[in-house]
Amino acid sequence: MRRRSAAASLIVLLAGAAACDRSAPAPSVDPAVYSEARDLAAELPLAEIHRETHRIDFGDAGSRRHLLEGWGADEIDGLDATTFAWGLGVSSLVEFTVLEPRNLKVVGRCRAFRWQDAQRQTVTVEVNGRRIRDLRLEGKMTEIRFTLPAEDLARGRNRLRFLYSYHGSPSRVIPGSADSRQLAVAWDFLRFGTERDELTLVAGAEGLFVPAGSEMRTYFRLDGPGYLLIDGLERGGRGRRLRVSVRVDGGVEGSEWVIEVPSGPTAIDLGNPPVSLVEIRLTALPARSGSGDPSGVLVRAPELRSRPTPTDAPVPATEAAPPGRPHVIVYLP
């Protein structure tokens, strides 16, 4: 567990040396006092789901949102039905999401636009404005590999730019071509991290399964003291860490912890704010090296506990309206 703030506190109760002992007593949150319960698993259909970018398939409409500038239309190779998109002009820019900065391996497949007298294409890779390395490309589809350093990545959205040493128009260098675009490199795909199956965040009778590299965001109204309770955390495959973040009323700063998995019952004290909108994020963090893990974290019985809103509070008396002139209604023809 990391960082502790005055706004909320974290209590992790373990039964002896057995960190995942399911018989460990629950944290001392009196259910008679904190009688209002909200099941986070049941809230999944209303939650926001955020995922790390695992793969960009150029030429596929589902990946178009990652392509920010310097890209041609989606295309299909007539020989092998490979989808691709041309990088155009001097550079191309893509956007991808990282939930936990770490050394991230990237694998791709691409080819340079070549003609008889063309020079060899060199692609300079930059991430968030920092130069990573140069890649030399041939005129046929070639696999490329590079690593993005953890210190150059940010939590959330990141930008990857490819700068091209040359570009050319087929209409000027290929006899009979009417294509006037400035072509540089044809891109097939980019994969962030190791090959793995895509897992889905799901809710079941035991709680929530959060795949590594996925984040669930839920929002609740809180009228006073409250707790986030978790019966325990278990590994799904090789998942090892869950990050819990709590923010009040849309604040940028909040309280945050990283809990090692497996663990026993956990209670997070949300403090005693006035009437507030509380955002809770549950993030299954990928492995610190490489990209992650075809795995995740099982979050057992996550629920928000709060005190009921008083319904018998006296209603303040309203002052009688001062006497005044009577209202006159005039009907016009």
What does the H/E/C string look like for the chain? Answer: CCCCECCEEEEECCECCECCCCCCCCCCCCCCCCCEEEECCCCHHHCEEEECCCEEECCCHHHHHHEEECECCCEECCCCCCEEEEEECCEEEEEEEECCCCCEEEEEEEEECCCCCCCCEEEEEEECCEEEEEEEECCCCEEEEEEECHHHCCCEEEEEEEEECCCECHHHHCCCCCCCCCEEEEEEEEEECCCCCCCCCEEECCEEEEECCEEEEEEEEECCCEEEEECEEEEECCCCEEEEEEEECCCCCCEEEEEECCECCEEEECCCCCCEEEEEEEEECCCCCCCCCCCEEEEECCEEEECCCCCCCCCCCCCCCCCCCCCCCCCCC
Q: How high is the pLDDT of residue 16?
A: 29
Q: How high is the pLDDT of residue 138?
A: 86
Of all residues in the chain, what percent carry a pLDDT higher than 70? 78
* pTM of the model as a whole: 0.77
Domain 55-192: assigned CATH number = 2.60.120.260
Domain with CATH 2.60.120.260 in the chain: 9-50+197-306, 55-192
Q: How high is the pLDDT of residue 223?
A: 81
pLDDT exceeds cutoff 80 at 106: yes
Superfamily of the domain at 9-50+197-306:
Galactose-binding domain-like (2.60.120.260)
